Amino acid sequence: MRTAVCGLLLVLLGSASPARAFNHGLSERFCLADVVLPATALQKRAPVPVGCELVDCCPGCPGAGPVEWRIAIDAKILAGAELRFEGLSAADLKHLKVTGKAKRQGDRIVLRPGESRIRGLPYKAGAPVVVGLLRPLARKKAPAGAVPARRSVTEQISVRQFLGASPVNGFKWKFAIRRCGPIVDPPFFDKLQIQGIASGDDAVVMMDARTQAQCRQGTPPDPDWTFRSTGETLLPNLLSPGSCNSEIAIFSKKHAMKWETGVPWTNNLGEVHAVTLDPLIDVPVHIWVANQSAGVAALASAHMNRATNLYQDNMVGVRFVPTVHPVPGSAEATINAGVGMDASGDLVCQALAPIRASAFYTSGALNVYYVNEGFTGRNCAILQTPHSCPGSTFAAGDANITFVGTTANDTTLAHEIGHAFGLRPAICGGHADSFGGSFGHDNLMWTGSADPRSTFSLGQVFRMNTHADQWGGTMLIQNGQRPAPGRPCRPQDASALCPLLDAPWP
């Protein structure tokens, strides 16, 4: 047996040079000993340079400051953070305008959980760089129940920098905190062998099985058994399933999600379970440009490229194959009639039948319509917007139809495809901010976030590949790109068969 040390694992996610840092971040992992934070784990200072330190990082932005920092601290265990500036004179420090959850104390600024703004930071390209030094602050005692047994929580400090209204830099510092406790090295007898992993790739495994001690099946509040693998993973002696769930889901950037249920482990020692990965799923996407404004077709292609990269980075297991089509002006009315506002002010899907019967719809594929209307996006799996969960009385539409409006950003399309792949209804956790879990504002299903959205959780990706519901489930199954049947795991469902929606990547 070996006992866990309440230590610190530091992973630098961005540039190692503070003078060239841009949209970078840090991740820290540590544990609580008797609900007291280890002080040595929080002595690190993270350097964040003021302003834009990359050439042409923000074309069209003002060339000089002042720079505004917008700082958000999402924390219950951490008390906040301390901020000091190197290269900033005492006079300049006094002239800073500090608002929100921030307070100036001598030569430092103390930041509490919540949102703060610091205005007036001097910046000029080519001038000496002012560097902010962030240090997290610990509570003397963590709140009772803040970290559940056998599960970690994630807290975050983020800094977004602006020249005028233009974002020019960003930094995120994440802290994964768990309870300290003994870690037992079991004897290894069985083996999982993953065949076909591409060169330079690895895989994430989410597995349910029975061991000598328990059913390892993610029964809430415990997370599923997850780990990374480059091909072979040694396991303790796994037993015949009995009443336990026994399945394997494998995710990677260059392969489709592999899902095996009823995995037949036995009580014998030395078993090898081999799994062969399948190629990425090619998902046809037909983009219909029903907005005659200049540049919309190019914008749609850029949104599609962004979605393709995000879905690959998050190991969804798909590769989008887009085709962009112009819609003649004579057909715009038919397309535009498919989406509108109801009496309550909700964006609803309507009059889909004429679209489906037109030459501007391809069955068995995702169809995205760029229209000249002032909204972000709307997927039509559910015609109306449920205001309570589960909203099962609301009529099904067609999840292969998505509308994108003129206020869309570069991740709107990726977000709406998440709905098409089964992350719905929004009120049930289809929108991450309605779930109340441990999602960050960078989750692709978070709405109204000023942060760049770039992540799906492991629980979300599992559902996008497997979900079944009364509105048709994931279109990967409905369009024949994954085998049926699916599994009904609404976003808020959590059980031995449905992983936690916010289940993190290992």
Q: The domain that contains 40 carries what CATH number?
A: 2.60.40
How, if at all, do strands 97-105 and 339-341 pair? unpaired
Residues 425 and 363 in one domain: yes
Q: The domain that contains 389 carries what CATH number?
A: 3.40.390.10
Chain center to CA of 292: 33
Cα 71 to Cα 29, 137, 172: the distances in Å are: 21, 15, 10
Q: 487 lies in a domain?
A: no
Q: 494 lies in a domain?
A: no
Q: How confident is the model at residue 328 (pLDDT cuts 50, 70, 90)?
A: very high
In 3D space, the residue among 287, 285, 296, 448 whose CA is nearest the CA of residue 372 turns out to be: 296
Element at 32 (helix H, strand E): strand 24-32
C-alpha span between 19 and 52 (Å, rounded): 10
In 3D space, the residue among 499, 456, 482, 487 whose CA is nearest the CA of residue 278 turns out to be: 482
In 3D space, the residue among 476, 472, 448 whose CA is nearest the CA of residue 462 turns out to be: 476
> Within 13 Å and on the Cβ side, how many CA atoms surround 352?
22
Q: What share of the chain is helix, strand, coil (3-state, %, to 5)?
A: 15, 40, 50
Number of domains within the chain = 3
**What's residue 144's pLDDT?**
62
pTM for this prediction: 0.70
C-alpha span between 369 and 404 (Å, rounded): 6
Last residue of a domain, one of 149, 179, 209: 179
Q: How confident is the model at residue 344 (pLDDT cuts 50, 70, 90)?
A: confident
Place of tokens 């790109």: 481
Residues 158 and 191 in one domain: no
Q: 358 lies in a domain?
A: yes
Q: 496 lies in a domain?
A: no
Residues 327 and 233 in one domain: no
Contact between 182 and 92 (Cβ < 8 Å): no
At residue 266, the 3 state secondary structure works out as: coil
What is the dihedral angle through the alpha carbons of 361, 364, 365, 370, rounded to the nearest 10 degrees? 30
> Domain span at residue 467?
281-478
Q: 29 lies in a domain?
A: yes
Cα 471 to Cα 95, 165, 296, 394, 420: the distances in Å are: 57, 40, 30, 9, 10
**What's residue 64's pLDDT?**
72
Residues 266 and 198 in one domain: yes
Question: Each residue of 55-70: pLDDT tens digit?
Answer: 455 555 556 779 999 9
CA Rg, the chain, in Å?
Answer: 25
Q: 315 lies in a domain?
A: yes
Residues 192 and 172 in one domain: no
Contact between 465 and 482 (Cβ < 8 Å): yes
* β-bridge mates for residue 205, sequence order: 227, 250
In 3D space, the residue among 142, 204, 185, 159 whose CA is nearest the CA of residue 462 turns out to be: 204
Last residue of a domain, one of 276, 294, 312: 276
Residues 171 and 22 in one domain: yes
In 3D space, the residue among 61, 47, 59, 65 whose CA is nearest the CA of residue 125 turns out to be: 65
Residues 131 and 198 in one domain: no
Share of the chain above pLDDT 70, in %: 86
**What's residue 123's pLDDT?**
85
E strand segments, 89-149: 97-105, 108-121, 131-138
Share of the chain above pLDDT 90, in %: 61
- The average confidence (pLDDT) of the chain is 86
Residues 271 and 291 in one domain: no
Cβ contacts of residue 298 below 8 Å, gap of 6+? none
Question: Each residue of 419-463: pLDDT tens digit?
Answer: 999 999 999 999 999 987 778 889 999 998 777 899 999 999 999
| Mean predicted confidence (pLDDT) in 491-504 | 91
Residues 325 and 438 in one domain: yes
Residues 353 and 217 in one domain: no
Q: Report the amino acid identity of residue 135.
A: R
Residues 334 and 272 in one domain: no
Last residue of a domain, one of 227, 255, 276: 276
**What's residue 60's pLDDT?**
53
Q: 497 lies in a domain?
A: no
**What's residue 23's pLDDT?**
59
Q: 136 lies in a domain?
A: yes
C-alpha span between 310 and 303 (Å, rounded): 11
Element at 397 (helix H, strand E): strand 396-404
Residues 364 and 262 in one domain: no
**What's residue 32's pLDDT?**
63
